[in-house]
Amino acid sequence: MYDVAKIREDFPILARTVYGKPLVYLDNGATTQKPRVMVDALVGEYYSVNANVHRGVHYLSQQATELHEASRETVRRFINARSTNEIVFTRGTTESINLLAATFGEEFMQEGDEVILSVMEHHSDIVPWQLLAARRGIAIKVIPMNDRGELLLDEYERLFSERTKIVCVTHVSNVLGTENPVKEMIATAHAHGVPCLIDAAQSIPHLRVDVQDLDADFLVFSAHKVYGPTGVGVLYGKEEWLDRLPPYQGGGEMIQHVSFEKTTFNELPFKFEAGTPDYIGTTGLARAIDYVTALGMDEIAAYERGLTDYALQRLREIPEMRIFGEAIQRGAVISFLVGHIHHFDMGTLLDRLGIAVRTGHHCAQPLMQRLGIEGTVRASFALYNTKEEVDALVAGISRVSKMF
């Protein structure tokens, strides 16, 4: 039995009020709230284990190293990677993509080569490739979508050319909620001899993600969106690819031997982890993964699907409601506008009722252009949200609508 009332007790912040109203937190796409076990693990490690990892012979350093490396194994198991060599810790999704664009671009892309992105990418999967385009003269091709917010797979096929070097696509859109058919899209890329990066920032908290089943070459996500701490992320890469990429940043940890004449680099995954890693944060990520694993990713997915369906049905009852993203396969994100009410006004007034939603372009301005709008209001759900909170949102929107 999925006991949401009991689950909510694990998240102390959910009991607080804002403006004297119970908090209704529906901004989980931006970041999730934290379970007590995760925060306790951070504090516990600072208080009882803290020491820099990998370099020390002393007891604490070895214990901290063991915890850090055990966290890597927890991540490996969570996404079913073959080896911990394939798990690179970064600062987040954004850094993971920047790392890949910089190193892949340097090794494999020449002027005139092409990268394929989708129209619904987050800026963090657009701008790193544009920076590379400016440096290297590569071209960006864009997979279009239909009005329901589903990518056009025929058009996708047609974008491949002899110059295509990589495909990068989001698993779940942070605006439309669309769950893209990434397994099929990866297979298409492979049929053209091209690797594929999956941005799993918005799928990893909600779905079972199996990198071997998807056959993803690279996959990235952020700890803070899956109930873990800020400042930690993951770049998964197939060993055969990571081995061929040059280092990203230089510094301690990523070297084998340094002299002023020549430096040799560390083995995977340390080659990509220059400097002191956030070894406390990786413990936090591992405890967050333990937490969702204990609840069951399939159970979480089923619960959130029910909640999202309920929210869609209730929101559609509101006069002049426009929902952006009507994909059949979708995640726990709903973007909308009501009549001519500006998204910012709607968000500000909902906030006064204790309801936290996000407003604006959601770091997806090209998608906003495609939709012909400046921004939306976005409600995004997590494993602790309830039908009562959806009702509060619907009542809040109706109240704001009447004011206009």
Which residues are identified as catalytic? 363
Cβ atoms within 10 Å, residue 321: 16
Q: Which parts of 286-315 interact with ligand PLP (CB under 6 A)? A: none
Strands 21-22 and 333-338: unpaired
199 binds ligand PLP (CB under 6 A): yes
188 binds ligand PLP (CB under 6 A): no
Kindly indicate which of the ranges 49-57, 88-96, 131-139, 248-256 contains the residues binding ligand PLP, using the contact rule CB under 6 A: 88-96
170 binds ligand PLP (CB under 6 A): yes
180 binds ligand PLP (CB under 6 A): no
Q: Which is nearer to ligand PLP, 180 or 283 (CB)?
A: 180
Kindly indicate which of the ranges 100-108, 196-204, 254-262, 340-348 contains the residues binding ligand PLP, using the contact rule CB under 6 A: 196-204
Angle at 275 between CA 363 and CA 281, to 5 degrees: 60
Whether the Cβ atoms of residue 200 and residue 221 lie closer than 8 Å to each other:
yes
Among 33, 202, 266, 359, contact with ligand PLP (rule: CB under 6 A): 202
Angle at 160 between CA 155 and CA 164, to 5 degrees: 140
325 binds ligand PLP (CB under 6 A): no
380 binds ligand PLP (CB under 6 A): no
201 binds ligand PLP (CB under 6 A): yes
- Work out how close the CB of 201 gets to ligand PLP at its nearest, in angstroms, rounded to a whole number: 4
Kindly indicate which of the ranges 89-97, 241-249, 256-264, 319-327 contains the residues binding ligand PLP, using the contact rule CB under 6 A: 89-97
Cβ atoms within 10 Å, residue 17: 9
- Work out how close the CB of 362 gets to ligand PLP at its nearest, in angstroms, rounded to a whole number: 7
Angstrom CA distances, 40 to 23, 188, 278, 325, stand at: 23, 44, 16, 38
Q: 330-342 b/e with 16+ CB inside 10 Å = b? A: bbbbbbbbbeebe
DSSP, collapsed to helix, strand or coil, labels residue 144 as coil
94 binds ligand PLP (CB under 6 A): yes
Angstrom CA distances, 246 to 124, 235, 269, stand at: 21, 15, 12
174 binds ligand PLP (CB under 6 A): yes
Kindly indicate which of the ranges 194-202, 239-247, 275-283, 368-376 contains the residues binding ligand PLP, using the contact rule CB under 6 A: 194-202
**Extended beta strands in 81-183, E state:** 87-90, 114-118, 139-143, 164-170
Distance CA 49, CA 121 (A): 40
124 binds ligand PLP (CB under 6 A): yes
- Work out how close the CB of 300 gets to ligand PLP at its nearest, in angstroms, rounded to a whole number: 18
Whether the Cβ atoms of residue 265 and residue 247 lie closer than 8 Å to each other:
yes
335 binds ligand PLP (CB under 6 A): no
Distance CA 379, CA 311 (A): 9
Q: Which is nearer to ligand PLP, 54 or 206 (CB)?
A: 206
| Contact footprint for ligand PLP (CB under 6 A) | 92-94, 122, 124, 170, 174, 199, 201-202, 222
